[in-house]
Structure 1
Amino acid sequence: MGKRGRVTLRDVAARAGVSATTASFVLSGRRDMRISAGTEERVFQAARTLDYRRHLVPRTTVPAGAPTVGLICDVIATESFAGELLRGCIAAATDRGHLVLMADTEGVGNLEASAVQALLSRGVDRFIYATMATSVRSVPEPLRDRRLVLANCVDPTLAVPAVVPDDGRGGRTAAKALADAGHTTGIWLVGEVPAHAVAGRRRRAGVEEGLRAAGLRLAGRVPCAWWPQAARAALTDLFRAGWWDTARPTAVITMNDRTAMGVYQAVAAAGLTVPDDLSVISFDNSDIARWLDPELSSINLPYFDLGRRAVELLLAGDAEPRVRELPMRLRSRASVAAPARTTGPAGRRPRPAMRAEQPLTDLG
């Protein structure tokens, strides 16, 4: 078999049935052109199918000795989809004739301080301080008097610009999607919300607010860690305790896609199906959302936009020191459907016996 040539942007556009300009706008994260969520999804799917390698930086010549932006982060470089934040930083910086130097510190205080000093010794005087999880952080001392923008975190003691995902609006979007699909009762939230989980608290508050706006409320919460095994175990226990017959759930909102995967497994083990018996909607829009069967409706985390907007604010020089919340858009797929119509317990599809001997496996 001959060697396949490099996949081009035009190849992606042709497979998605859009123009090369539209494909470019979608893959570069631009939002100054009206593109529907469905079109964006087709472009992303075409890029994944063709294994299209997006350029990490735009086709912009950066001169020797160009000014540099320093990026201090915790585990961004080791998380695949969070690498989009780095790509957003680089794209915005190179568009403006800057380079990016990054230090990945695993959130260790001593490493953070030494990383900052190393970048300062190289003449870096502008910094992005970024975290993998949305959080409240204390910015290391060497950064506090520097030109600085925070990405995916805030420091209440520091008056600097910050960009974070709008998890509250994301929660409202998830609630509205279920209400629009006809769900009025039996909506459950799956995933624990510890005190330090900023994103989780805001998502839960948004979900509850969105349901109230539709005249609805949560039927209940299932506290479990945000991993497939924990969610599967929690839902399995509920099924065995008669949850399906007594609570009559119609939909669940999970705190992330890994949690949704565990829900899928528990539902399948109970002899039920998504979305015919139980609709599922989630947060992250990770690769898991597209690997699940049926594909999972999920609220997108805007990592690329976080990186790009942080650099834009940093290089603007006069950005107002406030928190900017970036939209989280719903990627609608096949995991949400109208609830089965019932007139009472007798009209509900009966729950088959649990298949206790059926093995369950986790991704990876």
Structure 2
Amino acid sequence: MARRRQAVTIKHVAADAGVSLQTVSRVINDGPNVRPEMKERVQASIDKLGYVPSIAAQRMSGSHSYLILALNDRERTISEWAARQGSDWVNQMLLGGMLRANELGYRMMVELVDTHADQIERELASTIASLQPDGVILTPPHSENRQITEMLASKGIPFARIGSTAPGPGIAMTMGDESNAAMATDYLVNLGHERIGFISGLSEYSLSGWRVDGWTRAMTKAGLPTSGLLAKGDFSFDSGIKAARQLLSLAKRPTAIIASSDQMAMATLKVAGELGINVPADLSVISFDNTPIANFTQPTLTAVDQPIAETTSRAVELLIEAAREGKVPDAPVRVRGTLVERGSTAPPRRHDND
């Protein structure tokens, strides 16, 4: 019968390095008053023995919990999970946040909170009290909920506000929504499109307005009209159907449409098909998010890739710095997206009378 390998503990590290348990603990927890040569000595024993610090032990030995808490919108997340609509926002949060947290000796977990609930403050206070996180990541619409931000600020807990640049406490972060929308618009303009429609997202999200601003700015810069070419959506497939029909029923319809989500872009493809409009020969379509479904539509969707994983990873780094050293950026932190070119975009068709 194989013998189970004995777990390496802090006592083994102390014995190997010839130092006290307290010294090893201070090195592990990045404590003060530890000489550089002592750090190297202890770290050499840690590497040699393959010691992995216990999160529970770390929490007991110092003022840090080694836990980052990310809050996501309960209603929208559960709705998308239940409908199996292909959104991978939470997956990308976990990819970026969990991996970076683990690299830095932390753990990240996601909690779902209903931002519209009457008892949100009590619910969140209970979660904070039980988990005692070193930092909190807020995603839209939580990042602009003053109840949440004021409560976290009053408790002295560092937090990052993704999708918010409003004045106030916390680390403001964006994914370059305005510049991303301008980038997508410029791409279509360079292809030769002059009538470019835009389907906006849910109005309670500031990023929806930023994307409209980016489209408007790029169109104005190119000397192109925007009147009548903006349709309102709410990120959902159904709202995309309605918005796409509105744009594609215009007497002088657009030759390209930018949709603020993959779901609304898929809806645009469906409406175009029903109307006998060929994509991309007669209509180019660009989406936001670049979730997995963008690879499987017909044609595949050219998409703005929102850097969710990179933004969450950066938020983890900033929160750990804030918890340990009190460092907070003076200006909003922006992580820019990229445009992934696929089959749904092409130069506009030129007719004989053009």
Normalising by the residue count of structure 1, what TM-score does the alignment of the two structures yield?
A: 0.68
Superimposed CA distance per residue, residues 60-113 of structure 1 (whole angstroms, 9 cap, x where no aligned partner): 945342342231413377565112213322222211112234432232463454
Q: Which residue of 2 aligns with 1:205?
A: 213
2:271 corresponds to? 266
Residue 217 of structure 1: aligned partner: 225
Q: What's 1:333 paired with?
A: 342
Amino acid at match of 2:169: A
Would you say 1:91 and 2:112 are equivalent positions? no
Matches within 5 A, 1:118-137: 118-122=127-131, 124=132, 126-133=134-141, 136-137=144-145
| Residue equivalent to 2:89 | 82
Residue from 251, 259, 279 that aligns with 2:284 = 279
Give the distance between the partners of 1:331 and 1:190, measured in 2 at CA.
Answer: 19
Contact 2:302 / 2:340 at 8 angstroms: preserved in 1? Answer: yes
SS of 1:247's equivalent?
coil
For residues 111 and 342 of structure 2, what CA distance do their matches in structure 1 show?
A: 37
Query: Out of 300, 304, 324, which is 2:305 matched to?
Result: 300
Moved more, 147-156 or 255-264: 147-156
1:120 to 1:177, Cα distance in 2 relative to 1, 3 A: same
Residue 63 of structure 1 is matched in structure 2 by 54
Rounded to whole Å, the distance in 1 between the matches of 2:129 and 2:338 is: 37
Q: Provide the secondary structure at the position in 2 that maps to 1:74.
A: strand
Structure 1 counterpart of 2:183: 173
Give, in whole Å, the separation in 2 of the partners of 1:231 and 1:118: 36
Distance 1:102 1:68, change over 3 A: farther
1:316 to 1:176, Cα distance in 2 relative to 1, 3 A: same
Structure 2 unmatched runs, 5+: 1-49, 59-64, 81-86
Distance 1:60 1:157 in 2: 44
The match for 2:160 among 145, 150, 157 is 150
SS of 1:299's equivalent in the other structure is strand
Which structure has greater helix proportion?
A: 2
- Counterpart residue number, 1:226: 235
1:12 is matched with: none
Going from structure 1 to structure 2, the CA distance change for 1:200 and 1:134 (only over 3 Å counts) comes to farther
Name the residue aligned to 2:170. Answer: 160
Matches within 5 A, 1:95-110: 95-107=103-115, 108=117, 110=119
Aligned residues: 280
Larger radius of gyration: 2
1:73 to 71, 74, 88: 71
Secondary structure (helix, strand or coil) at the match of 1:276 reads coil
- Supply the distance in 2 between the matched residues of 1:197 and 1:166 (Cα, whole angstroms): 14
Q: Separation in 1 of the partners of 2:101 and 2:89? A: 18
Q: Which amino acid aligns with 2:209?
A: R
Check the 8 A contact 2:72/2:142 in 1, yes or no. no
Q: Following TM superposition, by how much is the alpha carbon of 1:266 offset from its aligned partner in structure 2, in angstroms?
A: 1.2
Q: Return the alpha-carbon distance in structure 2 between the equivalents of residues 271 and 334 of structure 1.
A: 18
CA contact (8 A) 1:63 1:97 kept: no
Give the letter for the 1:73 counterpart.
L
CA-based RMSD of the aligned residues comes to: 2.8
- Name the CA distance, whole Å, in 2 between partners of 1:129 and 1:74: 9
Aligned mate of 1:310, from 306, 312, 315:
315
- Structure 1: which 5+ residue stretches go unaligned? 1-58, 348-364
Distance of 1:336 and 1:221 partners within structure 2: 19
Distance 1:68 1:287, change over 3 A: same
Report deviation, 1:191. Answer: 3.7
Give the letter for the 2:297 counterpart. Answer: L
Q: State the shift of 1:280 in Å.
A: 0.6
**Equivalent residues of 1:82, 1:132 under 8 A apart:** no
> CA separation in 2, counterparts of 1:150 and 1:193?
21
Asked whether the equivalents of residues 152 and 164 of structure 1 are also in contact (C-alpha less than 8 Å), the reply is: yes
Q: Distance in 2 between matches of 1:190 and 1:126?
A: 38
Aligned residue for 1:202, secondary structure, equals helix
In 2, distance between residues paired with 1:106 and 1:161? Answer: 21
Q: Go from structure 1 to structure 2 and tell me whether the alpha carbon gap of 1:281 and 1:237 turns closer, same or farther (over 3 Å shift).
A: closer
Query: What's the TM-score, normalizing by structure 2?
Result: 0.70
Deviation at 1:214, TM superposition (A): 2.9
Cα distance in 1 for partners of 2:141, 2:237 equals: 19
2-structure distance, mates of 1:158, 1:144: 9
CA-CA distance at 1:342 after TM superposition = 2.4
Measured in 1, the distance between the counterparts of 2:51 and 2:299 equals 41
